[in-house]
Structure 1
């Protein structure tokens, strides 16, 4: 299951970030370029928050809300066209989530949202028991079924892959009459919980700039969304790096955290998402097997790195306010190598035979693993460059 791999990965990431921030803290003179008065560093951070994180989580929350609404309608009377539309909305939400995985630090990590909405494989034995439990189905069918799902089902029955299991089979949308009444009860509750967690990501980073209705929903559910239950959103926390109340002692620490997030997902895509099945470590550890969109997921994970490094999502990018631009000023050759490594990883992933679930042993998967490892190594060099300049 993903949460086993991810728990280990997040532990290592937390350790790495702690060490990185300790390096920044050991000597006030070590701030160099990234000192507290450096407006260029602040501009990079603000661009990341406002034009990488914010548009990604805003789109994710909107698609998750739409999906929950569409599934609620289908529960009352399903049609093939309606299921097809819900599948399209699901994939749109899925795209934004995968494009967010370079910044799983912050709200996603602190509130356990990542394993809550994106664990796999689905526990089919537990699912079958659930389908035979009148009491649990009645609870899920209640007005607060979304809350019941989030609190009682467990990660292996929640999130994207629970919904995917109901809506897709063999890479295609299911026929409406292939989904049972009990399955509609389940999927509507799980989609409601997914929506709530996506609101938590959005409000967690955007704070008061998030839609008021989303803030009110979280308040009604008593779901936390600020840093350490304080006054800062996660965006404010990063933008106020180096100031009292921020968990980032320096702006350099905040920039290093952004790059570390990129390293973490590059490692996960190569060693776990591709590598677990390809190496035979766990042939059941396959992301998105029912929609057969694993390779799309991997691709979008690397896009999340590109967005974080290059200064924003594609239609809101400003390379002059990016880690890419600053690294270019420190070490132009390294910046070129990072960009080439990003594109090489994307190309290697796109060259993998689809669907991944049917071709786990293909040698092209190994090439994609190597490309992700090479990207991770280059990003490690970026961390060193930021630390030492």
Structure 2
């Protein structure tokens, strides 16, 4: 079991967070370039397209990290800071027409201003604020959009596009800091020196956490998991760690995809919603990449269970994977779990390729198919987690 956990950490968690941090840096640089060129009047479509491409790359790694949101992402509230939705248009309008906000995002330290004052515009931070600036109606925004003096989106026509670009640059830098914090939380001082230096120059990010970005034992979360059975371990046994990967990690995001990310808007659109459901609770509506996001969440689960990244093109679990552990120990529902995993991915692939975006038809029958398949996967994950928790350490 220890080798399985070690492989999970080294082959899945570690490279995911390293790549996310690097791609968030690329996104920041692309957004900074967009802002500086918009301000100078030299912005091109290529500059915008480069920022959109960088956004998609970072977004993929983030969505594929969501099967291990336990630990640094949840303990330090990084997830809600960089990935809350839906975006509040009124909040964005107020912020970008507020003289103090405009001064802050154009001041000496716009990134710290955004971090310190985000309570005034919390719905427009992180990925979804950037998505709104960069995409509209499923397409990259045009240079004509950005070069216009004011926004053209209904309800936002009082917003200056220069200020919008300045806001995006500050938000992208805040996002970069938070992904560096996430990387540091799991891997400690082994992360790239440039990332450590950036955090040292943005100590407000580290100081804003309970344990200076680390686990409760003041060690990286990677070590916190690997020290199972020891005094400074997150769990007292290996089987408890594996159970947490299934339940606290994989099942958590699986249930969210089915009941919330897909479920809320579907229920509202089909007249079966409750007062707690919202018709606009749809992730990534401006880029129209909702199904891609949700599929990447399921690939995050597959990566975790197969013990390797890139499972879009991999059908065989690696030697020290969780799936191989189940198979080698005669887990009776192995085939059911594997089938449920691949069927959930296939349903989302069909929806993704249908040409019908979730935002456009949340009541489409394909949405119900996706919900059912992801629900079935969640049941299979919980069954496997329960079985794992009944095993003795091996």
- Distance in 2, matches of 1:150 and 1:177, equals 30
Deviations for 1:218-261, whole angstroms, at most 9, x for unmatched residues? 23322132112x43101111111111212222222211111111
Question: What is the match of residue 28 of structure 2?
Answer: 68
Question: What is the match of residue 373 of structure 1?
Answer: 375
- Distance in 1, matches of 2:100 and 2:35, equals 19
**SS in structure 1 opposite 2:242?**
helix
Question: What is the match of residue 112 of structure 2?
Answer: 147
Question: What is the match of residue 67 of structure 2?
Answer: 102
Question: What is the match of residue 3 of structure 1?
Answer: none
Question: What is the match of residue 337 of structure 2?
Answer: 338
- Distance in 1, matches of 2:143 and 2:233, equals 50
User: Which of 30, 45, 51 is matched with 1:80 structurally?
Assistant: 45
Task: Say whether the 8 Å CA contact 1:327–1:385 is kept in structure 2.
Answer: no
Which structure 2 segments of 5+ residues have no match?
38-42, 147-160, 207-211, 269-276
Following superposition, the deviation at residue 151 of structure 1 comes to 2.3
Give the ranges of 4+ consecutive aligned residues of structure 1 lying more than 4 Å apart after TM superposition.
315-318
Task: Say whether the 8 Å CA contact 2:282–2:359 is kept in structure 1.
Answer: yes
- Structure 2-normalised TM-score? 0.85
**SS in structure 1 opposite 2:46?**
helix
Relative to structure 1, is the Cα distance of residues 162 and 384 closer, same or farther in structure 2, using a 3 angstrom cutoff? same
Following superposition, the deviation at residue 351 of structure 1 comes to 2.1
User: Which of 237, 243, 257 is matched with 1:250 structurally?
Assistant: 237
Task: Say whether the 8 Å CA contact 1:328–1:334 is kept in structure 2.
Answer: no
Task: Say whether the 8 Å CA contact 2:2–2:238 is kept in structure 1.
Answer: yes
- Distance in 2, matches of 1:314 and 1:163, equals 26
- Distance in 2, matches of 1:152 and 1:171, equals 30
Root mean square deviation of aligned Cα: 1.5
Following superposition, the deviation at residue 387 of structure 1 comes to 1.2
- Distance in 1, matches of 2:233 and 2:363, equals 46
How many pairs were matched up? 348
Q: Name whichever structure is richer in helix by fraction.
A: 1
Following superposition, the deviation at residue 314 of structure 1 comes to 2.8
Task: Say whether the 8 Å CA contact 1:200–1:218 is kept in structure 2.
Answer: yes
User: Which of 131, 134, 143 is matched with 1:164 structurally?
Assistant: 131
Which structure 1 segments of 5+ residues have no match?
1-40
Deviations for 1:326-375, whole angstroms, at most 9, x for unmatched residues? 11123344111111000010111122243110010011111111111110
Instruction: Establish whether residue 385 from structure 1 lines up as the match of residue 387 from structure 2.
Output: yes
Question: What is the match of residue 212 of structure 1?
Answer: 193
Following superposition, the deviation at residue 97 of structure 1 comes to 0.4
Write the mapping of 1:115-126 to structure 2, written as runs, cut at 5 A: 115-126=80-91
Deviations for 1:168-204, whole angstroms, at most 9, x for unmatched residues? 0001111134231110111001000000011011111
Following superposition, the deviation at residue 318 of structure 1 comes to 6.1
Task: Say whether the 8 Å CA contact 2:265–2:279 is kept in structure 1.
Answer: yes
Question: What is the match of residue 288 of structure 1?
Answer: 284
